[in-house]
Amino acid sequence: MFYDANAISKYPEITARSFVKAATDHTEKFQIMNRKHTISVLASMSLILIFNSCMERTSGQKPNILFIAIDDMNDWIGVLGGHPMARTPNIDKLAGQGVLFTNAHTPAPACSPCRNAILYGMQPHNSGLYPFYDRNKLEPEFFEKHKSLMELFRANGYNTYGAGKIHHGNMKRASIERFDSLEFTESINTQLLELPDPVVDSTVGTGSKEFRKMCARPSLSPLEDHVDYNISKFGVEVLKRKHEKPFFLAVGFIKPHLPFVAPKKYFDMFPREEIRKTQVRDDDLADLPWVARSNAKLNDDYNYRSKNTWEDWIRAYLACNAYTDENVGRVVEALNSSPYKDNTIIVLWSDHGYHFGEKRSHRKFSLWEESTRVPFIILDPENASNGKVCDAPVSLIDIYPTLLNYAGIEIPEYSDGLDLTELLQSPDTGRKIPALTTWGRGNYSLRSFNWRYTVYFDGSEELYNHQNDPYEWDNLAENPEYHQIKNELKKYLPATEAPLVMQGKTLHNIVDADQPSLDKFKKLWSEMQKRGMNLE
Ligand SMILES: [Ca+2]
Ligand SMILES: [Ca+2]
């Protein structure tokens, strides 16, 4: 069934009302969120005409959505310049055709909390979902109150298609089937379980000699055996069909997440001897409070340096990014060759970033730029500002209200994101509200145009000036000269915190208000100092 113009005309009204309602409700609970929503309400009211033009698309139909999720891809893509060797021509091309957000951040630097935040539209300090969860074990009330993007699109006239990692979750068949049936008209996720593990070349790279988590080696298996290739093929196949209803197609690529295994040809693009290490300062942790230091991965850092495998991990990650880029390109190309090209909004995001030795850290799990900054692109073919970049701070939590607004679906009251419609239309007008990242209850980081301000549960702080310190080397938090800057940013910290949700909690690898002991880390620190790490 197609949507006629008369049906669509009612949606701006609903959208404006939902904004006001959200703002009203939040007044009672959260000063800061209220402030943010109030700004949104004012912005949305002054932009009713823009909303109208956004909703009333040339075709007179609701837009389709191509939702591309990537797991653990940091800013090592060509257009973000995170690593000089990054090879991501397809993502770069997409960025040039849509709006690239160069200052986009994750709501939480780990797979489970960030995807819960992004897909249910709630910040961890409002949902209580700070660490890792098994969705099977969350209280049923959570799912009665909160609806994921896919559920909302499906309930509002869309066919929803899913492949790969959209949510974080266990890969057991029953769990996959349960959640897929809730969210997707059609999914291939259980079929992906049947693929064999790739056979890796144990003579190249580092880590496990088999396909296990800590493996960074080329795969010798045929392309058809690889999960992400099959995810992209499903996307292509769906885009080749004739669609009677608008669609929401979610493809969730699992690379470059560990294991860093990709077909051999992608490793061959990055000769080992040419790999450039990341820029680090060995004593970078010296000026940090202990909670911040505890986010470093001292064991990994010690091993990679002493075994001379740092470059191997970097090489394998670059290979996985290049492989992911081709999978993204395959799906985007299929869309561009389809009749849906002019009425499909593409949103591409990675769930969080990744460290390669910066601040002695490897992986994510920190509130530093390497963990929080992500590739984020929105291409609306009807946006006159396509091709521009937006340097304003934005959060991936903003995807939720933005996509619902595009489809004229009422935005739930609990939604914490700020609609990006205005920024998409005028990417250079800016937005002054910083992006918030949460890592455990009580640990919050704000990223504005020029600053990163982080406060931990024990009151300790970090402050960086990104204008002259892009690597966050000099912590200015104790310098009285910057008290005013800190005070301005503090206004955007959460005013209240939801208690930690205990049901379904599976991994709590954070030092935070609920798990405050630093004893273990301090012991490790002193052991590593004895081993000659020269941390301070
Ligand atoms: Ca991830
Ligand atoms: Ca430092």
| CATH number of the domain encompassing residue 521 | 3.40.720.10
Strands (E), 314-409: 344-350, 355-356, 362-363, 376-379, 389-390, 394-395
How confident is the model at residue 44, as a pLDDT? 43
435 within some domain? no
What kind and span of H or E run contains 448? none
Residue with tokens 């029953």: 174
How confident is the model at residue 26, as a pLDDT? 34
352 within some domain? yes
Please tell me the distance from the alpha carbon of residue 460 to that of residue 291, in angstroms, as a whole number.
8
Sorted by sequence, the CB contacts under 8 Å of residue 120 that are 6+ apart come out as 127, 146, 147, 148, 400
Range 264-274 burial, b when 16+ CB lie within 10 A, else e: eebbeebeeee
61 within some domain? yes
How many beta carbons lie within 10 A of that of residue 523, not counting itself? 10
How confident is the model at residue 171, as a pLDDT? 72
How confident is the model at residue 52, as a pLDDT? 41
Alpha-carbon dihedral sign for residues 232, 228, 327, 248: positive
Please tell me the distance from the alpha carbon of residue 190 to that of residue 194, in angstroms, as a whole number.
7
Catalytic residue (choose from 54, 111, 215, 320): 111
What's the 454 CA to ligand 2 centre distance in angstroms? 14
Domain limits for position 234 = 5-430+440-530
Q: At what angle do helices 310-336 and 227-240 cross, to 10 degrees?
A: 10
The phi-psi region of residue 15 (left if phi > 0; otherwise alpha if psi is between -120 and 50; otherwise beta) is alpha
Per-residue pLDDT of the chain (536 residues; tens, 9 = 90+): 222 222 222 222 222 222 222 333 333 333 334 334 434 444 444 444 344 444 578 888 999 999 999 999 999 999 999 999 999 999 999 999 999 999 999 999 999 999 999 999 999 999 999 999 999 999 999 999 999 999 999 999 999 999 999 999 877 899 999 999 999 999 999 999 999 999 999 999 999 999 999 999 999 999 999 999 999 999 999 999 999 999 999 999 999 999 999 999 999 999 999 999 999 999 999 999 999 999 999 999 999 999 999 999 999 999 999 999 999 999 999 999 999 999 999 999 999 999 999 999 999 999 999 999 999 999 999 999 999 999 999 999 999 999 999 999 999 999 999 999 999 999 998 889 999 999 999 999 999 999 999 999 999 999 999 999 999 999 999 999 999 999 999 999 999 999 999 999 999 999 999 999 999 999 999 999 999 999 98
208 within some domain? yes
What's the 130 CA to ligand 1 centre distance in angstroms? 14
Cα angle, residue 414 at apex, residues 408 and 415 outer, rounded to 5° = 50
Residue with tokens 């996307």: 235
184 within some domain? yes
What's the 396 CA to ligand 1 centre distance in angstroms? 13
Length in residues, the chain = 536
- Quick check: is 508 catalytic? no
Please tell me the distance from the alpha carbon of residue 198 to that of residue 221, in angstroms, as a whole number.
5
How confident is the model at residue 90, as a pLDDT? 98
Q: In this structure, are residues 401 and 417 in contact, taking their beta carbons and an 8 Å threshold?
A: yes
How confident is the model at residue 13, as a pLDDT? 26
How confident is the model at residue 435, as a pLDDT? 98
86 within some domain? yes
pTM of the model: 0.91
Task: State the total domains in the chain.
Answer: 1
- Quick check: is 466 catalytic? no
535 within some domain? no
536 within some domain? no
